[in-house]
């Protein structure tokens, strides 16, 4: 089991991605710990739930430790009661571009107006297609980590 996540993150500059999405899901998540060195997340997406631990990012912000375990939705609901104040609510759209799939998150609530696209890669320098709706790269900008958006929401910037 690979425990390294290699991803790049971008702002989205227009809603054209929605027409290209082949799937979407609603996500709610909270943080037991939002410490950037060891964030612990509880997530419910559809009828599935997960407990995820993420380590600190490397200097470029592309690579970090990630461990995830599926848990029951009931367990997740109980863990939400222990989460730090602030939560994330978003719709995730899955959009194919070349050999990769972008996960495009449209945020709600205190992060309304923010739309981010992430792409997971096999190596930090791997080539990938960049659709025309892809905007500025924000990989490594901590403000755009969900764990930070739960504490310092987009609408308060």
Which helix H or strand E contains 18, and what residues bound it? helix 17-20
Whether the CB-CB separation of 4 and 64 falls below 8 Å is answered with: yes
The helix/strand/coil state of 43 is strand
Give the C-alpha separation, 54 to 40, whole Å: 7
Among 130, 146, 111, 155, smallest CA distance to 5 is for 146
Among 133, 99, 100, smallest CA distance to 116 is for 133
- Active-site option among 31, 93, 102, 144: 31
Q: Is 102 annotated as catalytic?
A: no
Cα of 43 vs its chain's centroid, Å: 11
User: At CA 56, angle to CA 29 and CA 107, rounded to 5?
Assistant: 30
Residue positions annotated with a catalytic role: 31
């Amino acid at each position: 089991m690979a425990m390294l996540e290699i991803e790049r993150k971008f702002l989205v500059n227009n809603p054209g991605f929605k027409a290209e999405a082949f799937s979407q899901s609603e996500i709610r998540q909270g943080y037991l710990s939002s410490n950037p060195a060891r964030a612990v997340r509880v997530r419910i997406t559809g009828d599935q739930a997960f407990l995820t631990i993420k380590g600190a990012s490397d200097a470029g912000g592309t690579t970090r430790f990630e461990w995830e375990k599926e848990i029951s939705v009931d367990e997740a609901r109980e863990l939400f009661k222990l989460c730090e104040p602030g939560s994330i609510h978003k719709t995730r759209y899955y959009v194919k571009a070349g050999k990769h799939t972008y996960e495009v998150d449209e945020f709600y609530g205190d992060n309304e107006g923010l739309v981010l696209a992430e792409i997971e890669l096999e190596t930090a320098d791997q080539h990938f297609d960049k659709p025309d709706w892809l905007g500025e790269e924000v990989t490594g900008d901590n403000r755009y980590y969900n764990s930070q958006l739960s504490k310092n929401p987009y609408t308060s910037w």
